Structure 1
Amino acid sequence: MRTRIARELIDAVRGVPPVLVSEALCRACVSLVPGVSGLSLSVLGQVAGTGVVLFASDEVAGLLAEIQYTLGEGPCTEAVRLRAPVFAADLTRAPDVRRWPLFSVQAAKAGAEAVFSLPLTAAAGALGTLDLYRDTAGPLEDGQVCTALLVADALALAVTALENASSGSGGVVTWLEGAESDRVEIHQATGIIMVRLGVSAEDALLRLRARAFVQGRTSLALARAIIDGSMDIRHE
């Protein structure tokens, strides 16, 4: 099974231009893990508590990842902390609602009643998460869990290899490059908040998240507004 999954992911990106690799991987992952409404792959940002969505099968999948990084709670943030799978089979009732009260409400609004997060792990720690969701509540079947774990392992290897690839190694161009601007924007906005409000990096990031939540926006969207000057944070 592990060999088959790795082969299918490799075949999916063979000969694909770097700019289209994430899209090709996304399609392959969707075909490998049937029975879910959608999925996304995220990697951790350079600033603690931030993440970048590398690909999402649909708008809901991408939004769920952004919501969790904005709120700082949810299965994916817990999976990164624990370096273990975290499953929320029913976000409409306890215990999941008690565990993530803010995320549960936002997930339901987005159209998801179940979310399953699997960490992408490496020797140095968690790289990010593979997140699956369903629009109806209920647990994954054993076969789906097994397949999803193997897909997450294969993606962890792919992300590690691409992050370590240099521009001169056989002309390899990492498909993470396009997402790097997202990490930089959140980092830059955090720096602006630090300077203007005289707070620490951790406090600046918390303020960014809080303002984003109050306004119903993602951290990335708010970061861009701070950078382009359309959002004045001096009266925070």
Structure 2
Amino acid sequence: MEYYFNIRYEFNKKAVHERIAQQLQKNEADYICVADGVILNTTNRDPEYLKVVNGGMFSICDSSYVPLYIRWIYGKRFEQYCGSQIFMDIIRSRKYRMIFMGTSQAILDGLKENLIHENPDVAQMQFIELPFRKVEEFDYPEIARMVEADGADIIWVALGAPKQEIFMSRLKPYLHRGVMIAVGAAFKFFSGTGVSRAPQWMIRCHLEFVHRIFKEPRKQLSRCAGILGSLPRLLLQESRRKHQQKKQSTYNQ
């Protein structure tokens, strides 16, 4: 794991899954954040939210641009590991009992129907619609009792950022075991309700944001404006951090 743009990332996919397995063996609860451009922007504007994001096990990189920025600044090569990818990797592994929480019942119903084709065990798992309310208004002790009665290893959460990350951080103290993973739009992508990821050629060309703008123009344009507004400062800060590390390394030699 390494810090870039103040977020503690794990880029190694094998290490991600090894850490999940190790965490479940410890019988302790924790969470993983899926850090896209929205989270990158928000964490660097809100110190309390940054604590939430870095308060879990680590973050995986849902942004195709962050690896490009790291390559420009540090010359290191990393790959994106987006929420929909880790979601489907774990579904298809058939290793864990899971519970699916958040979004609307219609999306959950479609999601369950489609996931059964990928993993028949899903037919016996719970898909729970959470009420629409402020993140501080959820009954976390009751939600934890429901999760633990289920015996789920993986708790998928889809409430949208930054709400879902705060939800996991608030639920964690009430859970005795399990790994929570916030996957945002992944529920919609695999529910068959008309929302899908961009075509592969757009993803390869780092143009997925264009696809999302066409699908949800008002929401995505607002997010893009926030990201673009903070990006020059973030790149400058990370470049300075690199030079400080280099100076410190030279000093210590």
Common topology (TM > 0.5): no
